[in-house]
Amino acid sequence: MRFYTTDWNAKRHAKRLKKVLRRYGHDVSYTSCLDFMARLYGFANFAELKRTTADQPLSAFDDDVDDGILEIRFQYQESVMAEAGFADIAGAVLDEIKPTSLRNGPATGFNDVRPVETKLPNDDV
């Protein structure tokens, strides 16, 4: 799965991720959270996300996709959380940070959103 978003949105969600993980007893650096958010979006790290998304149309947010896509996104993100050692809190953390949503509504930088379909695992090599 690849979810194309702005680096600003990834940074915003990384800050939220850091706070949520801390509440669950995990002290993770902001830099690690940036890389972790990138993995939740289907990238190897934040540098790849930033480099790759600059020229891509943005993916549709959760409110703009059907339930099937939402489930695929959640399952993928839950597996990334589990691989990182957070299997026991994955669902709760994802429900709180909502990494592929515009949780607080449209923000600066999203005026020119051009939704694209979410790519499934192994679509990009």
Is residue 120, in this structure, part of any structural domain at all?
no
Q: Note whether residue 72 is domain-resident.
A: yes
Kindly state whether residue 64 falls inside one of the protein's structural domains.
Answer: yes
**Residue 8 near residue 106, CB atoms below 8 Å:** no
Task: Report yes or no on 77 lying in a domain.
Answer: yes
User: Is residue 122's pLDDT more than 60?
Assistant: no
User: Has residue 55 been placed in a domain?
Assistant: yes
Quote the pLDDT of residue 53.
Answer: 83
Residue 29 lies in a domain: yes
115 located within any domain: no
Calculate the average pLDDT of the chain: 85
- How far, in Å, CA of 123 to CA of 7, rounded? 21
Give me the number of domains the chain comprises. Answer: 1
Range(s) of the domain holding residue 66: 7-97
Over residues 58-117, the pLDDT tens digits come to: 999 999 999 999 999 999 999 999 999 999 999 999 999 999 987 654 444 444 444 444
Domain assignment present for residue 53? The answer is: yes
